[in-house]
Structure formats: C-alpha cells, structure tokens
Amino acid sequence: MNGNCVEVSLASWRTSSYSGTNANCVEVSDLPGSSAVRDSRHPQDAVLPFPSTEWAAFVAGLVRT
C-alpha cells in the first residue's frame, strides 16, 4: 500500500472454501502490508484494500463469533 494506491494487477486471489462452486463470494489477496477484497462475480470491478492490521482485526472478529 503506497499512499492511496495499491497494485493488484498481479495479485493472487483466493475464495473461501465455503463459497462452493457458484462463485458467489468475495475473494481476498494478501499484498505487501495490506490485503485486498473484491467481488468474485465481478473481479474486474472495484477492489477494496485494507491495511494488514485492520484486516487481521476483522478476521480475528470473525473467528470469535
């Protein structure tokens, strides 16, 4: 993450194992210092980047619920 720019063109994306075969899920990519999320049904559209600390807090919150 560099200022407001995140390079995602070469990112490696993965979906949750819970998404099944319909690809009706979000995809996540681990990037240097951040993670990015996108809609798996529209991967060409917007990507939401999150600093690594915020993404880790989000995932930790999911694990607790």
Residue (of 18, 51, 17) closest to 37 by Cα position: 51
Radius of gyration of the chain (CA): 12
Provide the residue ranges of all domains of the chain, joining segments of one domain with +: 14-64
Q: What is the pTM of this model?
A: 0.74
Reading the chain (65 residues) residue by residue, the pLDDT tens digits are 445 566 777 789 998 776 666 667 889 999 888 999 998 888 889 899 999 999 999 989 987 65
